[in-house]
Amino acid sequence: MTISAQQYRDFVPHQKRVLKVLSAAQIFSGIASGAVISVGALLAVRLSGSESWGGSVTTVMTLGAAVAALPLARLAARSGRRVALCSGIVIALVGVVAMILAGVTSQFWVLLLGGALIGVGSAVNLQARFSATDLAPPDRKARDLSLVVWTTTVGSVAGPNLLGVGEAIGSALGLPQYTGIFVIAGGGMMAAALILFFGLRPDPALLLAQAAARNAGEVQDSADIPARVVTVPRKPSLRESFGVLHNNRAAQVGLVAIVLGHAIMVAIMSMTSVHMDHHGASINLIGLTISLHVVGMYAFSPVVGMVTDRFGATRTMIVGALILLASTAFAGLGSENHALVTVGLILLGLGWSFATIAGAAHVSGSVGPDDRLAVQGASDTLMSLAGAGGGLLAGVSVAAVGYPGLNAGGAVLSVLLIVCVVALGTRERSGEPPPRTR
């Protein structure tokens, strides 16, 4: 089912509100993500007693996001974005509490449980960027998506830089090292849930469904059916979700960039704090490096969105892969120099931004309202699984071949990303033209 240009114009006031609400929520929820990125690996090494487990928290966090992605998409299809996003945030809040308990009890398995539950919050962040495209016209999807991604910068950058404050809070409360930051993270999660619950009304997914239903002649007016049962976007099953992707060449192009770009970023990022700690970096320097990495991930998102809309998603994805390749050169070859590692981490975040924003916009723009939630759920699942695999292999790789070897593997995947996007893009153009992402 299609949405007319006039309907998109009617959506403008609602879309402005949706973007403000999503952006505000992302700021607060991003604090928890930044906290996990900063101290998750350090806590894992301390509680497990082995460097090989350094990437375990990132791994279970991304696995949690992978497991939650499709159920959240189904919940959004049934009850709207507001219910799905709020539910995920509440589950993540439980994960924040578990991280504190892990430090108090010195139980490694509790740490992993907490990371997995916080991963549900990561799935919420992924769904939020797609929520920004529900009511956006085709020529603004990438820009609106990137705006919500950009606002994540504030919380995610603040998280690592609040390590000192978190340690002070932890000391005042008698908490173990590295756990005080999660007190701040919990407050951020609570604020995000409240903003989404009260601000995301009317729900963008339900507004889109109502418009599509009217176009199909199923109803004459949105008031003819209760909002909670307006489910024109079908509740996507796992089989249906991947079936849509299998038959959509355009969506596959974007998916490759999302999956490989995320795997590279998570693998290298997850072990950088451990690498720097073992080479004498202070906790403040580690926090600053991770913060700058997050700046690279999110701060330039609006620019990336405009570039994607202006020059096309395929070209933007290739640029992202080239930046990722450059990042592995800086971090890998300069592994003994903290400044070069920091430059590499900034580029790692920027390359991820180009690859995943362009990829997500391409995926969202290549399917209609009927299939959008199904494809987005599958995309988020695969993205998170790729991140989990990257985090899992990162610790083992560093233990076996060192931090430079890990970056060499990232370089290989960056080249593979370029080859896949070019090859799939060529096959896409040789067939029937897909829906435009602009």
* Per-domain boundaries in the chain: 5-214+232-430
CATH superfamily of 5-214+232-430: MFS general substrate transporter like domains (1.20.1250.20)
Return d(Cα 121, Cα 114) in angstroms, integer. 11
Q: How confident is the model at residue 370 (pLDDT cuts 50, 70, 90)?
A: low
Q: CA 310, 25, 354: angle at the middle one, nearest 5? A: 30
Query: Is pLDDT at 1 greater than 50 in this prediction?
Result: no
Q: Can you give the pLDDT at residue 369?
A: 62
Residue 311 neighbours by CB under 8 Å, 6+ apart = none
pLDDT at 97: 92
pLDDT band at 429 (very low <50, low <70, confident <90, very high): low
- The predicted model gives 371-388 an average pLDDT of 76
pLDDT tens readout for residues 21-44? 998 898 888 777 777 766 777 788
How large a percentage of the chain has pLDDT more than 70? 84
- Tell how far CA 81 is from the center of its chain: 16
Q: What is the mean pLDDT of the chain?
A: 81
